[in-house]
Amino acid sequence: MVYLGLFGGFVILLFSGDLLVRGAVALAVRLGIPALVIGLTVVAFGTSAPELVVSVRAAVAGLPGISIGNVVGSNIANVLLVLGLPALIAPTYCNQPYIGRNTMYVLGASLIFIALCFMGPLQLWHGIILFGLIVLFLVESGRRVGEGRDKSLNEEAGEASLEDIDGVAGLPHSPMIIAGFMAAGLVGLPLGAHLIVENGTGIAMSFGVSEAAIGLTLIALGTSLPELATTLAAALRGHCGLAVGNVLGSNLFNLLAIMGVTSMLAPIPIPEEFLRYDLWIMLATSALIIPFALKGGAITKVPATAFLVAYVAYIYSILSPEIDAVAAIAN
C-alpha cells in the first residue's frame, strides 16, 4: 500500500501543481501582467510548488533528511536528468539572453546555501537571508523589464505565445474556471505532499534506508516531474533551448525560496553526509552548465548521455551503501 500511496501522491502533486500554474498564469494574463514577468514569478513559483510543499511538510514532521534531500536531489536531477533527457531528442541551445548571468546566480546561490548549511541547523535567520536573495533577484529582473533593458526578450515574449515561452498550455479563460483551477491546486498540493512524505518514510523504514536517501532519490525525482514534463514537451515542439532557462530558474527558486520559506517555518538539521558529499555534487552539477552557457553552445547527444550516466551513477552511489548496510545487518 505504501507504493500505491506514494504513486498516488506524485500523481496528485503533479496534477495539482499543473492546475495551480495554469490558473495563476491565466489570472496574471487577465490582469495584464507581461508574459516575461509571469515567467519569472508565477511559473517559476508554480513549478517549484511540489518541492515547496513536500519540504515544508517534511520539516514540520521532523524529517530533515527528506526536507533538504528533496531540494538538493531535485537540483541534481534538474541538471543531469531534465537537461540530459530532452537533449537526446534535439540539441539544447544555451544562447538565450542572460543564460550566463543566471548560471552565475545559481552557482552563487549554491555556494551561499552550502556555507549556511555548515553554520546549520538552518533556522529563521538563514531563511530570511535565502528568501531575501530571491526577492532581490526578482526585483532586479523586474527592473530590467520595466526599464526596457531586456528589450529583445520582451519583443520575443510579445511575438510568441505564453505556451511557447514557458511550456504552459491550455489556459482557462472563465473567471470561475480560473478560480476552480487555483483552488484545486491549493487543496491538492498539501494532500499530495502528505502522501509522499508519509509513504516515502514508510518505504525507507521497510528497506532500512535513511530518510535522506529516499529524499535525494525517489522523492526528489518525483517532485522534479513538472520540470521534466515541461522540458520534454518543449523539446517535442522544437523549443529545447527553453530547458536551460527553466532549470536555472527552478534551481534558484529551490535553494532560495523553498529552503528560505521552509527554514523560516521549522529548523532543519543538516545530515552529516550532505556536508561531506551531496551538497558538493549539487555544486558540481550546476558548474557543468558553465561551458555551454558562456560559449552559447548546445548540449548535444554526447554530453546529454554523459549527464544521464552521471545521474544513474549518483543514484547508485546513494542507494548502494544503504542497501549493503541493510544486507550486512540481515546476515
The angle formed by the CA atoms of residues 39, 44 and 50, to the nearest 5 degrees, is 150
- Decide if 124 is inside a domain: yes
Q: Is residue 135 part of a domain?
A: yes
Reading the block at residue 237, the C-alpha cell is 515542439
pTM of this prediction?
Answer: 0.81
Please report the beta strands in the chain, taking only residues with DSSP state E, as ranges in sequence order. Answer: 92-93, 298-299
* 227 within domain boundaries: yes
Indicate the number of domains in the chain: 1
Within 8 A by CB and 6+ apart from 33, the residues are 42
Q: What is the pLDDT of residue 158?
A: 42
- pLDDT value for 156: 44
**Strands of 70-195, DSSP E:** 92-93
CATH number at residue 157: 1.20.1420.30
- 167 within a domain of the structure (yes/no): no
The answer to the question of residue 295 being in a domain is yes
Cα separation, 201 vs 177, whole angstroms? 36
CB-count exposure of residue 146 (10 Å: 0-12, 13-18, 19+): exposed
Please tell me which residue, 266 or 194, carries the higher pLDDT value: 266
Q: Is residue 289 part of a domain?
A: yes
- Asked if residue 177 belongs to a domain, the reply is yes
Domain limits for position 251: 2-162+172-330
Question: Is 68 within the bounds of a domain?
Answer: yes
For residue 100, CA distances in Å to 86, 168, 244 come to 20, 24, 10
Highest mean pLDDT among 107-121, 201-215, 236-250: 107-121
More confident residue, 281 or 217: 281
- CB count within 10 Å of CB 191 equals 15
